[in-house]
Amino acid sequence: MLALTLLEPVRNLRWRSADGLDNSASCPAGTVFFIPADHGVAITWPEAVQFLSMTIDKTEDTTDLSARIPASIIRFSSKQCLQVSEIILEQLGEGAEENSNYFASLQSVLVNLLLRNAQVAHSMGGTQSGLSAYACGQIEAYLKANFRNPVSVPEMALMLGISAGHFATCFRESFGETPHQYLMKLRLDEAERCLVETDMPISEIAARLSFSSQSHLTTALRKYRQLTPGEIRRRGRQQRLR
């Protein structure tokens, strides 16, 4: 058996199982693809994505749990699997052979988590939390077209016919971040572009992107990009002079 744990979110991931069925989804960090032995799958990565691949051999400890899992691909999300996978990756970078007992224990914990989560996901009918691929596409297109304007969670939830609370939860499961964080990224990307490519006053850029003030934009850039508007503009000018 093989388990692939995504260590970062990925949008529009596509895969084809052995039965020829095409699937696609936007997956948050912590998404696991549990692939049984002798069951092929072809994954199309839209971008470079960091993931941890774990082979699960049949042993006395795993046979009982693995016997309850069907011979089909199971996809689920698990924060615990993500956290342990990140620790394992860190240990690999530091030289796991220096503390082999600790590394073996981490592997054992992850295998147990993977098997138990796969079993639970199967017992729930393979249902996945989060938005469908179609709904993700709708929301992405809407945000890219309207991020300069005031946008609210209730407004987007209404588009999909679900409650605001349910939408916020599903959005985070699908995109790996909150609607506010996603919207902020779009606005800050555009703010950086305007600062680098135009001489537009910072206050005007802030107003055009629905920031309450120039100070609000400056605070957001410092928090998320560790740069002030002035620093971004100066860097842009320096690059143009080279």
Q: Does the structure show a pLDDT above 70 at 2? A: yes
Average pLDDT, the chain: 85
Residue type, 90: E
- Taking the complete model, does pTM exceed 0.75, yes or no? no
Q: What is the pLDDT of residue 142?
A: 94
Single out the residue in 69, 98, 123 at which a domain terminates.
123
pLDDT of residue 211 exceeding 80, the answer is yes
Pick the last residue of a domain from 72, 105, 123: 123
Residue ending a domain, among 78, 105, 123, is: 123
Query: How do residues 59-104 score in pLDDT, each as one tens digit?
Result: 655 556 555 565 678 888 888 889 999 999 988 887 766 678 888 8
Q: State the greatest distance between any 2 C-alpha atoms of the chain, in Å, as a whole number.
A: 68
Amino acid in the structure at residue 67: A
The total of structural domains in the chain comes to: 2
Whether 132 has a pLDDT exceeding 90, the answer reads no
Question: Could you give the residue ranges of the DSSP H alpha helices within 28-132?
Answer: 63-66, 79-94, 100-123
pLDDT per residue as tens digits for the range 94-122: 776 667 888 889 999 999 999 888 887 77
**Phi-psi group of 193: left, alpha or beta (phi > 0 → left; psi -120 to 50 → alpha; rest → beta):** alpha
pLDDT at 141 over 60: yes
Residues 93 and 168 in one domain: no
CA distance 77 to 4: 11
Clarify whether residues 116 and 154 are in a common domain: no
* Domain that includes residue 217, residue range: 133-241
Q: Which residues contact 10 (CB under 8 A, 6 or more apart)?
A: 26, 27, 45, 46, 47, 49
Question: Is 98 exposed, middle or buried, given 0-12, 13-18 or 19+ CB atoms closer than 10 A?
Answer: exposed
CATH number at residue 224: 1.10.10.60
| Residue of 98 and 231 predicted with greater confidence | 231
Q: Strand 22-27 relative to strand 51-55: parallel, antiparallel, unpaired? A: unpaired
Per the CB < 8 A criterion, the answer to whether 31 and 67 are in contact is: no
197 and 175 belong to one structural domain: yes
- Give a yes or no: residue 49 inside a domain: yes
pLDDT tier at 150 (50, 70, 90 boundaries)? Answer: very high
Say if residue 65 is in the same domain as residue 110. yes
Task: For residue 128, tell me if it sits in a domain.
Answer: no
pLDDT (0 to 100) of residue 98: 64
Residue 4: pLDDT band by 50, 70, 90 thresholds? very high
Say which range, 18-22, 121-125, 190-194, 200-204, has the weakest mean pLDDT.
Answer: 121-125
